[in-house]
Structure 1
Amino acid sequence: MINHSARFLWHIIPMSMSSRRSAIALSAASAATLMLGPKMSAAAEEKKEEAGEPLVAELTNVVLPLARDGALVNYLFVTLKIRMSDLNAAAFVREQHFLVRDGITRASSRSPIPIGKSPGTFDTAAVVRLVTSVVNGLKPGLRVVRVSLEQAAFMRR
């Protein structure tokens, strides 16, 4: 005996051709995502490792006060890329980034970064000196090779 209940149910709930195609396409897309997902994420991780430099520790969203004649004028939001002398030093700075941020914040609060004479400028060398002295003072043997500032932005007023 043949069970016709499935056929009967099919006729009760009619599906249009477009919704059937959508359901099939959605099923195929989810299956492809499950199959290709690990391969795509591994490829993305490989690219990330190639793009990142092992000797560079990056600190994003560092806030530094800017001053003119000892008075607070504005704040600088910047990404700092700190190139260290060896892998152990870079790993230490990356792992202890909260100590580096704290040291930079404390040092810049004691002596704010001088603002430049023209609008939108500041003393980049002062930032580099400050960051270098803070990082070198964290632990004996740490040596900063270079500090670069990226994505520098001022607080809007």
Structure 2
Amino acid sequence: MNDVMGLENKDGVQTADVISVLLGHVKEGYKFNPDTPLTEGDRNYVSNPSPDDKVHCLVTIVSANSLSLMDQSIINKMKTVKEQANDIDIPQFILLTKIDEVCPLVKKDLKKTYTSKKIHEKINQCSNLIGTPVKFIFPVKIYCYESDTNDPTDILIMLALRHIVSAANDYVASL
């Protein structure tokens, strides 16, 4: 599992570095430089990555309540990474978080997530902005203030996770 800092600010990871991660060219533990992407010849650059070094599934986290506020430059970076992942057939998903903050109905009852018009609108908006098909966008509520887990939140997360793991397994099997 690779977790990289977001693309949204000047201190975030470079788009080229995210692509290098996808391709397996980044050594584990490398600290990304927000000013300069990793290049071939750097001591942290893996020239001949093994299948284990490569990413098997790309998961992007997007906040439902900030979709309309996303800067075009961030959207363009996301599309660039998405296109590279498409070129090498890496499965891709988006976790659309904070759905409880954009829909009062869902805030009251998470079981209404897939019947909420507001959530459908947000999923479609996300799909249109980034270009990811709707069926690969999973609305989830993140644990923020809760001290205990609850079934509706867990079910949404587990549904997304099941699809992500299945796609990653299929990808690895195809290598």
Q: Same fold (TM over 0.5)?
A: no
How does the TM-score come out when normalised to structure 2? Answer: 0.24
- TM-score, structure 1 as length reference: 0.26
Structure 1 or 2, whichever has the larger Rg, is 1
